[in-house]
Structure 1
Amino acid sequence: MTNIREQSLEQPVDVAEYLFRRLHEIGIRSVHGLPGDYNLIALDYLPTCGLKWVGSVNELNAAYAADGYARVKQMGALITTFGVGELSAINGIAGAYSEHVPVVHIVGCPSTISQRNGMLLHHTLGNGDFNVFANMSAEISCDVAKLTNPAEIATQIDHALRTCFIKSRPVYIMLPTDMVQAKVEGARLKQPIDLSEPENEPEKEAYVVDVVLKYLRAAKHPVILVDACAIRHRVLDEVHGLIEKTNLPVFVTPMGKGAVNEEHPTYGGVYAGAGSHPPQVKDIVESSDLILTIGALKSDFNTAGFSYRTSQLNTIDLHSDHCVVKYSTYPGVAMRGVLRQVIKKINQSELSVQPSPTVENEVTKNLDDSSVITQAWFWPRVGEFLRKNDIVVTETGTANFGIWDTKFPTGVTALSQVLWGSIGWSVGACQGACLAAADDKSDRRTILFVGDGSFQLTAQELSTMIRLKLKPIIFVICNDGFTIERFIHGMDANYNDIVQWDFKALVDVFGGSKTCKKFAVKTKESLEQLLKDPSFNAAECLQFVELYMPKEDAPRALIMTAEASAKNNAKLE
């Protein structure tokens, strides 16, 4: 029986349909998660809304996958069930919040009547508090929408999705079972959600632009430094516009890898303080009298253990919601508008442009007479293996630090979790990223580099990749355990050891014996043969590579950062 409110609706649609059609509208095509009795009815609506269901093996992996999906395809979505499901996902959502990744977390929960009556239901704490889990997620979400009043639900959904996109952080949507089929105004769907970012106040923006231009024109050795939030807050077009207009030397941070076309003549490498590559980058950046940073996230692992030696007096920081020019902060002035105006008004002839260092994949320089695959040789060799528009996923630890020494072809997207650093993230993220590329019907390769210790945490997600017929190239670096932890503390401690698995056998265990390829590589010669093989490069199926490297070998940047991390951990004050 319809009520008066529903009778007044122009085009009544069920809440689940409204929500999922909005997800489709903003570009999502696959939704990760796990079924549970509080979300089952909602899941029935996915196919009719043009969305595919991705059942991961657990909620944590699903959250990692939604994160990886969002980094490639603008936004990601995750559906879990109340309590047990959402708490299993919370670590992955926290990582997305930390690293500015827009993930929509939808939680199926008990009916509004059950909540109102404080019923003693399964998946609760038994205390009648149905808000406790939402309150936990509120700390790692930029919006919490509890869909309990049909008159407000459509507005709540639109607001949450807009906020998720604009702020580039997760949102939490609580969907009670009795609201799934409640009616809301479907006519609203004719009008797309406004995803345009708020414009800067013209006078404030003009003032900041004038100040930036004044310092740029006066500088003798200006440089550009691009970091993670330039990627997350979608200003890469503006970044490249600035590079083209100024021809200033441009560098990236570790978290900014992939933000800049590394084949551009002004690209100069990775700046990470003492961990910079090439080595001369450190001197060039730190001797500059003006560093224009875009989207900075100056975390410990992003700065090689806080080894930056730059002065704020020589720095202009552009962020998504404020700008800092030397020691003056301008709240509410976003970088996009400032960058566009600077590009419009600056001319290269007004600037003192210094040459950039040459960046190469230094394979020959790091080649030795041994057949052993070393970290120093491997990562530059990876740069020669990569091709345009590849998606490269690197795990916290060896791979995250090794990739600093890899020069990318044009269009490579790099996924890493340098700030949150949750071990095992990359396996789920690889699934999500590979699926996002498939949803876009692109032929981009997805390539994962993960250590053997990290892989063991989330290995089950390999089965999801096989089931979905995804075609990633997976390199599992077999070096006997947690290398990054060994270099921080306990090189030979048993807590940094792992049980040795027959890793490639998991491909068969998870159902890929007839559709996937497996390799075990222990020498430079055999790796060279594999990397040059046309069939391997074509990546026409899932390919799994056991890559054997020495236990006590690590990328130079990892060793340096681990030493700094150990010192920070030991500080008493």
Structure 2
Amino acid sequence: MSDDKQIKIGAYLLERLVQLGTQSIQGVPGDFNMGFLDLIEDHSALTWVGNSNELNAAYAADGYARIKSTVAAVVTTFGVGELSALNGIAGSFSERLPVIHIVGVPSTAAQGAHSLLHHTLGDGRFGAFENMSKEISADSAVLKAKEGAGEAIDRILRTAMKSARPVYLALPTDLVHATIPSAPLNTPLNYDADENDPDAEQYVLNVARQHIADAKSAVILVDACAARHGCIAETNELITKSGLPVFATPMGKAIVDEDHPQYGGIYVGNLTSDPVKKIVEGADVLITIGSLKSDFNSGNFSYRTPKASTIELHSDYTTIGYSHYPGIGMKRLLPKLSALLEPEGQRRLEETKKIVPKFENVLPQDDSSVITQEWLWPRMGQFFETQDQVIVETGTSSFGMLEAKLPAETRWVSQVLWGSIGWSVGATLGVALAAREEKLGRTHLFVGDGSLQLTVQEIGTMIKHGLCPYLFVLNNDGYEIERQIHGPQRSYNDIPPYDHRLLLDFFGKRDFRSDAPSHAKDRPPSRKQYCKAWTKEQLDRLLNDEHFKKPDMIRVIEIVMQRGDAPKALKRQAEATGQANKYD
């Protein structure tokens, strides 16, 4: 692009998103964003998804960002639309995901005149909703004029990538087509991790090496921020070169391949199996990578690992024991720590092989035909394949699937920290879109019958876009996780029963793409299949069917389970949560 060439502000934003790897944009149309939507729909490298509502759109952006490891975009209209999305955006902030919330807002003239427009609070305040979003945004930009618009867009996108957090952009109707210089697009955005101060970094490395050298045993614990801040390769290099045993938290599951010879399973404080707990809590040094010690991620804060023995590596600081080193980030530190530990790696590996428990999918031996939580999750682990995506809802599936060994390169998608009920259905749409773009494996959702009801409409969007996820619906007659925590017989944990046989027909009864513009007809709606399993034998037969294993249609698989049955880890967590929330 020549230095004097101009580009529309809306188009500038889209080109930056394309450069970052974004191919699908979530959202809902409204009269203040439609001029921008025209640019999206006319862009050859972008797909406008068009969600059922703004909350689901934000959930889908969250799931998309997890798989693509880049900025996901969600577009809403001013006021009513953007507020509907905020729960989903808050989840992305909590769980450290880069999402840009693009809000179509009234023209700069209308704002300047404090016009009494629809979708406003009726008091002339046009900045009220931006202020609400600031609490859950790493940065925000409210465009007031075309001057500086490109720089503002670049700034917030760079912030989203570096901080792994959502950002907010208010785009007035009259600025979408205003033009600015296109020359900055010739230079890709630089969002590399900052360099560590060399002297401080070397000091930290020396201290860490001495801690590990003095220890009789050391263990690595991998957590979510290793993935959120782009350190998966560096983490796996440390594991391999150090030869040390490695475990994962619930939020860090599958960051390390679960068939890795040094991998021993999930550590979650008091909820952990005895063999894993013994190794982790018995180590002289614990090296944590990207730790997020929330209640559900740490067994209700029940880690038994002394702080004095812990080396914590984070995106922008390191702690060793009680010493804190700000500005020493793990992206730059990890390769150097790996090099320091490599000379002793082979010796440590031989010791690791002797003590690390083998993580396998072991089915319980019983004669009952009832599908139990104890049986379901290892059986599902046997069904998954390399590069599959596994999405679990907050509830029985997020705890139960921890017991399943996943194949290499599987993506584990869960919302342990924010835990918004129904999130997983919208997220599955985003995950499935991203998996198709990246040419990954199958997409599997595990959601309870209660959680499904909050966001079930997004199944229609999946069908519209020709996606073929496996939607496993766990029918245990209501909110089982809530019953485990409190009120097992209370009616507030009950739900109206749905006839799940009708879901796919209801949300995709006809080819509603037939009258779409020609460029939108390149992908036919999904073929559909509904299955129901009451017994182990029925589900086992289905999972063994070669045709069923092929992701050539969207499937709803209803699994009937007993009310009151829950994974052991959930029962222990629910007991701890119930005690923490005692009402008397």
Q: TM-score, length-normalised on structure 2?
A: 0.94
| Residue aligning to 1:4 | none
The question of 1:129 aligning with 2:131 is answered no
CA distance in 1, matches of 2:527, 2:157: 38
* Distance apart, 1:231 and its partner CA: 1.1
Separation (CA, whole Å) in 1 of partners of 2:324 and 2:293: 17
CA distance in structure 2 between the partners assigned to 1:417 and 1:178 by the alignment: 38
1:49 CA displacement: 5.4
1:535 is aligned with what amino acid? H
Q: Is the 8 A contact 1:359 1:407 kept in 2?
A: no
Distance 2:486 2:99 in 1: 34
Q: CA deviation at 1:356?
A: 4.1
Contact 1:321 1:334 in 2 (8 A): yes
How many angstroms does 1:443 deviate by?
A: 4.3
Tell me the SS of whatever aligns to 1:105.
strand
Conservation of the 8 A alpha-carbon contact between 1:267 and 1:356: no
Q: Is the 8 A contact 1:395 1:424 kept in 2?
A: yes
Is the CA contact 1:96–1:102 (under 8 Å) kept in the aligned structure 2?
A: yes
Residue 357 of structure 1 is matched in structure 2 by 356
Q: Distance in 1 between matches of 2:583 and 2:151?
A: 49
| Residues 443 and 343 (structure 1), Cα distance of their counterparts in 2 relative to 1, 3 Å cut | closer
Amino acid at match of 2:268: A
Partner of 1:407: 405
What is the distance in 2 between the residues matched to 1:356 and 1:225? 16
Whether 2:85 is the aligned partner of 1:85: answer no
Cα distance, 1:228 vs structure 2: 0.7
Partner Cα distance (2:260, 2:33) in 1: 48
State the SS of the aligned residue for 2:328.
Answer: coil
The answer on whether the counterparts of 2:532 and 2:557 sit within 8 Å (CA) in structure 1 is yes
Query: Does residue 342 of structure 1 match 2:324?
Result: no
Between 1:143-152 and 1:354-363, the stretch displaced more is 354-363
Distance (Å, rounded) in 2 between the aligned partners of 1:156 and 1:222:
46
Q: Distance in 1 between matches of 2:256 and 2:328?
A: 23
What displacement does 1:367 show? Answer: 3.1
Distance 1:135 1:473 in 2: 39
Name the amino acid aligned to 1:339: L
Q: 2:444 aligns with which of 437, 442, 447?
A: 447
Pairwise CA distance, 1:9 = 7.0
Counterpart residue number, 1:286: 281
Q: What is the match of residue 464 of structure 1?
A: 461
Matched AA of 1:324 = T
Alignment of 1:87-486 (within 5 A): 87-277=83-273, 279-349=274-344, 352=348, 353-354=351-352, 355-364=354-363, 366-440=364-438, 442-486=439-483
CA distance in 2, matches of 1:117, 1:539: 54
Q: What amino acid is the match of 1:69?
A: Y
Letter of the 1:528 partner, please give it: D
Superposed CA offset, 1:436-489 (max 9, x none): 11122x141000000000000000000000111101011000000101100100
3-state SS in 1 of match to 2:202: helix
The answer for the alignment partner of 1:55 in structure 2 is 50
CA distance in 1, matches of 2:509, 2:340: 56
Residue 316 of structure 1 aligns to a residue in which SS? strand
Deviation at 1:195, TM superposition (A): 2.2
Q: How far apart are the structure 1 equivalents of 2:178 and 2:164?
A: 29
Shift of 1:504: 2.8
- TM superposition shift of 1:533: 0.6
Aligned length: 562
For residues 385 and 509 of structure 2, the distance between their equivalents in structure 1, rounded to whole angstroms, comes to 26
Of 41-50 and 54-63, deviating more is: 41-50
Matched, 1:10 2:4: yes
Amino acid aligned to 2:263: Y
Deviation of 1:348 (Å): 4.6
The AA in structure 1 aligned to 2:170 is M
Question: Matched residue of 2:297: which SS?
Answer: helix
* Paired residue secondary structure (2:100): strand
User: Quick one: distance in 2 between partners of 1:66 and 1:401?
Assistant: 24
2:484 aligns with 487
Could you tell me which residue of structure 2 aligns to residue 565 of structure 1? 577
The offset of 1:345, in angstroms, is 2.1
Q: Which runs of 5+ in 1 are unaligned?
A: 1-7
- In the TM superposition, 1:522-561 aligns within 5 A as 522-561=534-573
8 A contact 1:250–1:356 mirrored in 2: no
Q: In structure 1, the residue corresponding to 2:111 is in which secondary structure?
A: helix
Work out the CA distance in 2 between the residues paired with 1:362 and 1:193: 44
Kept in 2: contact 1:392–1:414 (CA 8 A): yes
Kept after mapping to 1: 8 A contact 2:217/2:283: yes
Q: Write out aligned runs for 1:59-70 (5 A).
A: 59-70=54-65
> For 1:403-431, what per-residue CA distance to the aligned partner results, in whole angstroms no more than 9, with x for missing partners?
11011110000000000000000000001
Q: TM-score, normalised by structure 1?
A: 0.96
Q: CA deviation at 1:512?
A: 5.5
1:362, CA displacement in angstroms? 4.1
Do the aligned partners of 1:485 and 1:496 also contact (CA within 8 Å) in 2? yes
Deviations along 1:302-355, one digit per CA (max 9) or x if unpaired, are 112222111101111101111110000111110111111111222252775443
How far did residue 204 of structure 1 move? 1.3
Q: Secondary structure at the match of 1:128?
A: coil
Provide the residue aligned with 2:18 in structure 1: 24
Superposed CA deviations along residues 259-313 of structure 1, whole A, max 9, x for unmatched, are 1011110001000012124x31111111111000000000111112222111101
**What code does the residue aligned with 2:97 have?**
V
Q: Secondary structure at the match of 1:150?
A: coil
Paired letter, 1:488: I
Q: Distance in 2 between matches of 1:134 and 1:120?
A: 18
What residue ranges of structure 2 are gaps of 5+ in the alignment? 511-525
Q: Report the Cα distance in structure 2 between the residues aligned to 1:70 and 1:504, rounded to whole angstroms.
A: 31
Matched residues in 1 for 2:307 and 2:379: separation?
37
In 2, distance between residues paired with 1:155 and 1:16? Answer: 13
Identity of aligned residues (%): 49
Q: Are 1:225 and 1:252, in contact at CA under 8 Å, matched by a contact in 2?
A: yes
Q: What is the CA–CA distance in structure 1 between the aligned matches of 2:315 and 2:471, rounded to whole Å?
A: 34
* Partner Cα separation in structure 1 for residue 384 and residue 144 of structure 2: 49
Bigger Cα displacement from structure 2, 201-210 vs 394-403: 201-210
Residues 120-155 of structure 1 deviation map (CA, whole Å, 9 limit, x = unaligned): 000000011111100010110101011112111000
Counterpart residue identity of residue 524, structure 1: K
Residue 390 of structure 2 aligns to which amino acid in structure 1? V
Q: 2: CA distance between counterparts of 1:173 and 1:360?
A: 45
